[in-house]
Amino acid sequence: MHLEEFIKKFDHPGCVILLVGKRKVKPTDQETLVQLGELLARKTTYMTFRSGNAPGADELFCSGVGMIDPARVLMVIPEETHRKKHRKDYTFVSLDEFNILKEDPVVYAAKKHKTKGLIDYYLAGNRGGYTSKVTPILRDAVKVLGHQHLSPATAAVVYIDPEKPNEGGTAFTIGVCRDNGVPVFDQQVWIQWLSEGKS
């Protein structure tokens, strides 16, 4: 999909674009992610951008958006204290603000991850210890599916490790997107948008 098609399809009121990816970004790719975030914010009017406040791709994509309009960035974080020292002028919403129940779609999605055995333990009110491994997975499911006042994502722009595309939290997020019909665009698609955006 070309940049113009992407904008035409997704730049509408209420559209939420995920900006997510690997924590380890190749040094040669880092500026590219910033440029893409800046391009999407500059070329669009209605899109809002959702991410997870993780270091690496999330942070780089959103810093580009923030150069144009930080008010269009919403960070979904696993707990209120998550990376407080690294926060910028974005909007933040924490899992602590949601009443996540066993029957929630986000729980069904999260239980597809290898940490599924800890989810019921977390939902029973236990905190600390191994539950810190569960909150990022629930956060990733919420980023895609939304919850209560948070609408579902419309599409996802991701940075993957081409050599290990099926590993880590990014792969889990992509899986939730695909299970729920949310289109995913990785760098094999969006890299061309940068040159198209210059014309």
Residue 106 structure tokens: 């986000």
User: What is the pLDDT, as a whole number, of residue 88?
Assistant: 73
Percent of the chain at pLDDT exceeding 70: 95
User: What is the pLDDT, as a whole number, of residue 85?
Assistant: 66
Q: Can you tell me the mean pLDDT for 70-87?
A: 80
Residue, of 129 and 160, whose pLDDT is higher? 160
User: What is the pLDDT, as a whole number, of residue 36?
Assistant: 98
Q: Which of 91, 16, 8 is nearest to 43 (CA)?
A: 8
User: What is the pLDDT, as a whole number, of residue 117?
Assistant: 78
Residue 129 pLDDT grade (very low, low, confident, very high; cuts 50, 70, 90): confident
User: What is the pLDDT, as a whole number, of residue 3?
Assistant: 97
Q: Can you tell me the mean pLDDT for 94-116?
A: 85
Percent of the chain at pLDDT exceeding 90: 63
User: What is the pLDDT, as a whole number, of residue 37?
Assistant: 98
Residue, of 37 and 90, whose pLDDT is higher? 37
Q: Are 58 and 21 in contact (CB under 8 A)?
A: yes
d(CA 29, CA 32) in angstroms, rounded, equals 5
Residue 60 pLDDT grade (very low, low, confident, very high; cuts 50, 70, 90): very high
Instruction: Count CB atoms within 10 A of the CB of residue 155.
Output: 18
Q: Can you tell me the mean pLDDT for 152-178?
A: 90
Average pLDDT, the chain: 90
Residue 112 pLDDT grade (very low, low, confident, very high; cuts 50, 70, 90): confident
